Amino acid sequence: MRVTRRDFIRHALVGAAAFAGGTVASRYVPLVRLDAQYGTRRRLAITEALVEMVDRSLVYHWAFEDLDQLRPQPQMPGPVILTTEGDEVKLSITNSLHHGIHGFRIPGVSGETGVGIVVQPGETRTLDFVAPKGGSYMYLDHLNEPVNRALGLHGPMIVLPKNGNTPYSDPTTAVQRLFNDLGKTAHFPGEHWIPERTRIWLFNSVDPTFNQMALREEAINASQFRENFLPRYFTINGVSGAYASHDRSIIPAGRIGQSLVIRLMNAGMASHSPHLHGNHVYVLARVDETLDNQVVQENVVHIDTFTVKPRERLDWLLPCIRPPDIPGDPSKPLRELIPAELSLTLGKVGQSPLTYPMHCHMEMSQTAAGGNYPQGLVTHWEITGDLDGVDFRPSNPGEKGGLNEEYHTGAGR
């Protein structure tokens, strides 16, 4: 049976419907699941997919596909490349589209990989490189900048350092001291940081007018794209609003004392100012003016919002400390201090754990297309338990355990 291009795009949509909410052709894969499965050899394909937006509209995108999956499907954004400093990495990039030249580049990596390659329709190119210093990187299609990148061809690469207790090969004195203090000082009680406590927030913005042009295989002029781009959707890891607040690969969560690193990347056309409630964060690293090299910060500022411009990368440490705005005896465990709040149920839905929003302070990312916060660049983070390892659990009707019965003790989620 001959499969037409229209049938292929419809097939990609079937992949979306198979997942809860059906937001993309393949749900974004959490960082923690990748290392043992894929190692340092990856095969990626440049392909196409229909992506379901928060209002259920289907928008055509270019997308990367992980050919090493058991059932390869397009992913939005592209799959996480996870490696360790000094590893020999081999990537093969296939242009599966019959129309249009595409490229592949990882800014901040030396050699051909950092400069970028061109991949003709139907062609496969191979890149061999040594994994650079530990940090956050974003791979992208650098051709017709920023068109190809913003229409979906981007993804994260995380490089872990060979040694040390930070995310970086060469931490500054301030960053090293911050991570040394985790779990060892009164302000940062609990545990030291481990790489599994990482979240990636990769932002993008979508103007369906240009996506439709790509679907019709029309040439898109980069200057006109910049001048006329009117974003209708703003996404975190390919999803918006309620989808982003129900995706466990996006939501930072941990007990008090289980600090998390959040790696923010902006592949879109709009600047964002993500803002967290409940705790402030520490800015660990950001790119320099070239938008290539990530610089670990000498001055680790303590903030609750920070601007991330297009193509920028920014790393945060979320310390997951007891929220300072909770009144009462600071020596008393929260489950004893505020038991009513932690066992509250509304409409048979438990309101525990402690949940705090993250939303963008750039108004357009919340009000585009007539939407409000539930449809914009928004998610949340959770404190799931006390310092002593006891998890907060709601007392839902018919549920065993909970604060009104016996405490549940387990590993942080």
Please count the CA atoms within 13 angstroms of the CA of 128 that sit on its side-chain side.
1
3 state DSSP class of 179:
helix
* Count of C-beta atoms within a 10 Å radius of residue 68: 14
3 state DSSP class of 116:
coil
Per-residue pLDDT at 374: 66
3 state DSSP class of 157:
strand
* Count of C-beta atoms within a 10 Å radius of residue 409: 11
Statement: residue 403 has pLDDT above 80: no
Tokens of 376: 């914009």
Residue 51 to residue 73: CA distance in whole angstroms: 12
Query: Would you place residue 394 in the very low, low, confident or very high pLDDT band (cuts 50, 70, 90)?
Result: low
Is the CB of residue 195 less than 8 Å from the CB of residue 136? no
Task: Catalogue the E-assigned strands of 161-231.
Answer: 198-206
Report the range out of 17-31, 282-296, 384-398 with the highest average pLDDT: 282-296
3 state DSSP class of 12:
helix
Tokens of 311: 């193509």
Torsion of CA 4, 8, 14, 20, to 10 degrees: -160
Residue length of the chain: 413
pLDDT tens digits along 161-197: 999 999 999 999 999 999 999 999 999 999 999 999 9
Q: Which of 173, 178, 161 is nearest to 317 (CA)?
A: 178
Report the range out of 37-51, 246-260, 341-355 with the highest average pLDDT: 246-260
* Count of C-beta atoms within a 10 Å radius of residue 21: 15
The answer for residues whose C-beta is within 8 angstroms of residue 66's C-beta and 6 or more apart is 42, 43, 44, 72, 75, 78, 79
Torsion of CA 307, 310, 315, 320, to 10 degrees: 50
Largest CA distance in the chain: 71
3 state DSSP class of 113:
helix
Please count the CA atoms within 13 angstroms of the CA of 220 that sit on its side-chain side.
28
pLDDT tens digits along 194-230: 999 999 999 999 999 999 999 999 999 999 999 999 9
The single residue listed with the structure tokens 């295989």 is 217
Q: Which of 290, 269, 276 is nearest to 203 (CA)?
A: 269
Is the CB of residue 172 less than 8 Å from the CB of residue 298? yes
* CA 59 from centre of chain: 20
pLDDT tens digits along 251-295: 999 999 999 999 999 999 999 999 999 999 999 999 998 999 999
